[in-house]
Chains A and B, each alone.
Chain A
Amino acid sequence: MTNHPPNGSLLLIHSHYGEPPGLFLLAEERGDAVIVRERDLTPAHFTAARGLITTSHLDQLGFMDHAPELARLMARGGRWFFNGHILRPFLAGLGSYAPIAKARRADLVLTRLNEHPIFAGIDQPSFEENKGVAGFYGRGHNPLPQGALAINGIGPEKQPIDWEWTLPGGGRMFSHAGNDIGGMGGPNPNHALVAPRIIAWTMGEI
């Protein structure tokens, strides 16, 4: 285990084979980020962390084993940026992902519901398409926990595809129910814009 900064590290769980994602490599430049492959993840990584980012490749069955450490991270005011479809109740109050059945283009419209520092100044519909193709951003939603704030909605019913939740016991979670956002160098320049903001939010700086 590396030396951790006194204020806590940014824990980045690397869940797939190969190079870590661009967002993680960007975060690594800060000096307080720790990239850990899932096989090597221990409770001590959570104990040392202030913030946590997980990707859509997360082994959610294995991650459930870390639910107690995750709860303690949140209880001391930590933050977690989650990408993907929730399968398990990692924290009390979370529900399972709801996909849009046979999504058509109209089902994939995005709407800003409440302002958020990660998305400040970004026109949310500009996230809808990559090269004219819709659906990469996400195709459903993770249910909004009680007391959470919906940030972006999807489809005509504006289901909460993005939300931020201040937990009753402390700590904050951001849920993005789709492909990882903040990837660098992709076809949609919005991702490069939000990448440093996701890192800053996760560390409680914005």
Chain B
Amino acid sequence: MSASGKPVMAIIDGGQHYHHDSITREPFKDFFDHVVYLRDVAKTDLSAFDILIIPCRTNAYFLAPLSGQLQAFMREGGTLVAMGETFPDSWLPDIGFRPMQTNFWWWLTPGADLGLRMSDPGHAVSRYLGKDDVTFHLHGAFEPLHPNQKSLVETAEGECQMFEDVVSYAPGRLVATTLDPFFHHGAFFMPATTRMLAGMLPWLSESEAERKAARTA
């Protein structure tokens, strides 16, 4: 936590151009207090951060050797955020993932609806994100969902696209999504992906502040 009480948000930079453009340009650059290059994570003291974001398509071959460090970060109270196409099923336990053939073209059909929705309108995340902010395309679904993983975004068939787990790594939490807004926003493409980040980043920060306040109360 910073002196102002605002949670310290860090993000990994995998070196891809779309990471650079998402992290260093407006409108999101001021969210990130620290940027850690992927190959420097192993030698970085993560305890200085409250939130660590692994942006979309960070190379999972580099994440696998960091699994122990990332789990320890959560167990010490941190929030780890695994974004789309980072394949946390390959580097964290108890995550099920079923890939899907991506349909980039569904929206060309008049009146079509990808069917995504917020899983629980009563959850705080639904004050920050709505159906239109998470609707662009699918890469897969988290299944089977572990009982500790609470779905936040799902398809019409109930397939989980984003979950929060505040139990498995308590007092820390894990947020994971199959959606990949950093990739498309950073490639200057797909306005919905920019909206998703515009909702998700404040939710992460403000919910983290509430979690911290509750723990110290």
Q: Which residues of A contact B (CB under 8 A)?
A: 15-18, 37-39, 56-63, 84-87, 97, 99-100, 103, 131-133, 135, 139-140, 179, 187
Contacts and interface: CB of A to CB of B under 8 A. Distances in A.
Interface residues of B, number: 25
Contacts of B57: 16-17, 57
Contact of A87 (B20, B37, B85, B188): B20
Nearest to B62: A39
A65 to B, nearest CB: 9
A17 B85 contact: yes
B133 interface: no
Interface stretch (B10-18, B68-76, B120-128, B158-166): B10-18
A151 to B, nearest CB: 20
Interface string B55-94: 0010111100000000000000000000001110010000
Contact of A85 (B17, B37, B108): B17
A11 to B, nearest CB: 18
B16 A17 contact: no
A139 B189 contact: yes
B187 A179 contact: yes
A60 B188 contact: no
A36 to B, nearest CB: 12
Nearest to A57: B16
A99 B21 contact: yes
Contacts of B146: none
Nearest to A178: B187
Contacts of B60: 17
Contact of B16 (A60, A135, A187): A60
A154 B17 CA distance: 19
Given A16-B57, A17-B59, A133 B17 contact: no
A131 B105 CA distance: 8
11 contacts: A15-B59, A17-B57, A17-B90, A37-B61, A59-B15, A61-B37, A62-B38, A97-B17, A131-B105, A139-B188, A179-B187
Nearest to B87: A17
A37 B60 CA distance: 11
Nearest to A65: B39
B21 A85 contact: yes
A67 to B, nearest CB: 14
Contacts of B189: 135, 139
A142 to B, nearest CB: 10
B10 to A, nearest CB: 16
A133 B103 CA distance: 14
Nearest to B61: A39
Q: Which of B18, B59, B62 has the most CB of A within 10 A?
A: B59
Interface in B1-26: 13-18, 20-21
Contacts of A84: 17
A132 B108 CA distance: 9
Interface string B35-58: 001110000000000000000010
B39 A62 contact: yes
Q: Which of A85, A103, A133, A139 has the most CB of B within 10 A?
A: A85
